[in-house]
Amino acid sequence: MATKEEGKTVFDVEAANVLSKELRDAFASGKTRSYEWRISQLKSIVKMCDEHEEDIADALRQDLSKPLLESIVYELQSDCKWNLGWDFNTTRSEFTNEETSNSTLTMVKNSCTLAIKELKHWMMPEKAKTSLTTFPSSAEIVSEPLGAVLIISAWNYPFLLSMDPLVGAIAAGNAMVLKPSELAPASSSLLAKLIPKYLDCSSIKVVEGAVSESCALLEQKWDKIFYTGNGRVGRIVMAAAAKYLTPVVLELGGKSPVVVDSDIDIQVATRRIIVGKWGCNNGQACISPDYIITTKDCAEKLVDSLKKELEAFYGKNPLESKDLSRIVNSDHYARLTNLLDEDKVSGNIVYGGERNEANLRIAPTILLGVPQNSLIMKEEIFGPLLPILTVSKIEDSFDIINSGTKPLAAYLFTNNKKLKKQFLMSVSAGGVVINDTALHLAVHSLPFGGVGESGMGAYHGKFSFDTFTHKKAVVYRSFVGDASVRYPPYTRGKLRLMRALITGNVWTILRALLGWS
């Protein structure tokens, strides 16, 4: 049970056990399985987003100093302007609260809207073919909710990465507990306040806290664990899940490369790289471009274009820009400055590098020609630093990428069809985007997830429903057509016929029935 310690409620293993039992009892009651319950919860999430848009944006500002536009577009409002063709020269001051609230789509609400529209279809059993081996029979695949699931979300997109998996778990008919990240305390507190108000608190629970609370939850038996974060904690989650053979989804990260060919519109390419890097939480995003690889001939032109566009977007003093998020906390700030201050790296800064420790701000920083054995090239950067590596020919970039772990995303800018094909064949990544960055995240018909050390499992759209669902195989038969060939005593004739039935070949079966060898 939750105990009191110096006036504060403590969530321990015993409390986690009680919570787990409550969720299992709620699931066993059968109410979460119904179509009506699922739809009502999804509609309530939409209502929650509509009624508390300003509160959510304010929490994101407190946690990360996120620009209003980023909060609305990437976590709340996914306006159609976010697609190709949006003029990112538009300044923050041009987007008022009234304009953003009139946006037509949302990342979370769009997930809900899609699920509400498609849920009946998703829930319907899928017909499956049968063969002569089981004749007469019919078969289907039934989508069955897993049970009680645990969702542990991340701090960098604390609303989106909490609610998006929750939508999938609800659509699939599960009971669940959400553990928001303690590194985004304002967002965590708001979720803990809003979710019980709008959703069924007997089947959907929120647990706030840090490491001890997460460990208490991981001590319990769950029917699935969905974790978003880094690989170090991902290994801890997977080890805890192994105790009960619990399946896991791990949404991790990695060093997502950008390969830039020479035969491109360099201005468009650099704008799209910038918005995928610094326009997504100032580089604190799992699919953020981590480093660029280009040819030696193209590097100078690329750097010049990046400098020009960065100044156009964020001004001459980006530390004062309202359009850049701050670093989440002092620990991450120290980690990033350590990457920059390494002896073999500090002399390679060609743009930016300014810092303000008091405000936890680091300016967009470009580094050219950093050694591959430097710290900045060994770990995921997850911040506003962007190294550029050079190669003699662009195809050499494949070897550099493949020398590391498989990334969550990989990006290529080129007009060369052959190079596109080579890239797709040679580079293994969770997702690939050609001539843009990060856009695959917004395509609900695509699975979003990693491969290898960048994660396992996928979600978004129907893939979210599927990841929280067991696909149960069902075969229907009547009492007619009962063949004695299945039953003892076994004979050579029965063996011959059984072999023929297993092949499913009509001619072979006829030969066996007639006794022909």
251 is an active site residue: yes
Q: What is the pLDDT of residue 6?
A: 55
Residue 458 covered by a domain: no
Q: What is the pLDDT of residue 3?
A: 54
Residue 119 covered by a domain: yes
Return d(Cα 310, Cα 88) in angstroms, integer: 11
Nearest one of 271, 273, 276 to 87, comparing CA atoms: 271
**Ramachandran quadrant class, 463 (left: phi over 0; alpha: psi -120 to 50; beta: rest):** alpha
24 and 110 assigned to the same domain: yes
Return d(Cα 366, Cα 247) in angstroms, integer: 40
387 and 439 assigned to the same domain: yes
316 and 384 assigned to the same domain: yes
Confidence of residue 8 (pLDDT cuts 50, 70, 90): low
- Radius of gyration (Cα) for the chain, nearest Å? 27
Return d(Cα 280, Cα 289) in angstroms, integer: 10
**Ramachandran quadrant class, 435 (left: phi over 0; alpha: psi -120 to 50; beta: rest):** left
Encode pLDDT of 194-216 as tens digits: 999 999 999 999 999 999 999 99
The H or E element spanning position 132 is none
Encode pLDDT of 228-270 as tens digits: 999 999 999 999 999 999 999 999 999 999 999 999 999 999 9
CA 31, 36, 38, 40 torsion: positive or negative? negative
- In this structure, the number of other CB atoms found within 10 A of the CB of residue 219 comes to 16
Q: What is the pLDDT of residue 104?
A: 29
Active-site residue, selected from the candidate residues 251, 309, 380, 453: 251
Helix, strand or coil for residue 116?
Answer: helix
Q: What is the pLDDT of residue 442?
A: 87
Encode pLDDT of 309-328 as tens digits: 999 999 999 999 999 999 99
272 and 379 assigned to the same domain: yes
Q: Of the candidates 227, 252, 277, which is a domain's last residue?
A: 252
199 and 299 assigned to the same domain: no
Residue 490 has pLDDT above 90, yes or no: no
300 and 241 assigned to the same domain: no
Return d(Cα 459, Cα 446) in angstroms, integer: 8
207 and 348 assigned to the same domain: no
Helix, strand or coil for residue 205?
Answer: strand
Residue 91 covered by a domain: no
Range 276-305 average pLDDT: 96
Encode pLDDT of 69-86 as tens digits: 676 666 655 433 334 333
Q: Of the candidates 252, 272, 294, which is a domain's last residue?
A: 252
221 and 242 assigned to the same domain: yes
Q: What is the pLDDT of residue 405?
A: 96
Q: Say how many Å lie between the first and final Cα of the chain, rounded.
A: 70
The H or E element spanning position 356 is strand 355-356
Residue 2 covered by a domain: no
Averaged confidence pLDDT in the chain: 91
Residue 333 covered by a domain: yes
Say which CATH number the domain at 416 has.
3.40.309.10
385 and 426 assigned to the same domain: yes
- Is 506 or 376 the better-scoring residue by pLDDT? 376
Encode pLDDT of 106-127 as tens digits: 689 999 999 999 999 999 999 9
Say which CATH number the domain at 248 has.
3.40.605.10
Q: Of the candidates 252, 279, 308, which is a domain's last residue?
A: 252
Range 471-491 average pLDDT: 91
320 is an active site residue: no
Residue 172 covered by a domain: yes
Amino acid at 67: P
Q: What is the pLDDT of residue 4?
A: 54
357 and 489 assigned to the same domain: no
Q: What is the pLDDT of residue 484?
A: 85
Nearest one of 313, 292, 287, 291 to 442, comparing CA atoms: 287
Q: What is the pLDDT of residue 133?
A: 81
Active-site residue, selected from the candidate residues 49, 112, 280, 286: 286
167 and 183 assigned to the same domain: yes
Range 187-199 average pLDDT: 98
Q: What is the pLDDT of residue 94?
A: 43
pTM: 0.91
Spatial CB neighbours of 50, under 8 Å, sequence gap ≥ 6: 109
Instruction: Report the domain count for the chain.
Output: 3
Q: What is the pLDDT of residue 74?
A: 63
268 and 206 assigned to the same domain: no
Encode pLDDT of 357-377 as tens digits: 999 999 999 999 999 999 999
Per DSSP, the residues of 359-397 read TTEE--EEEES--TTSGGGTS---SSEEEEEEESSGGGH
Q: What is the pLDDT of residue 419?
A: 98
Give me the residue label for tokens 């011959």.
496
Residue 134 covered by a domain: no
Residue 514 has pLDDT above 90, yes or no: no
Return d(Cα 96, Cα 274) in angstroms, integer: 23
Residue 501 covered by a domain: yes
Encode pLDDT of 12-45 as tens digits: 999 999 999 999 999 999 999 999 999 999 999 9
Domain that holds residue 422: 257-449
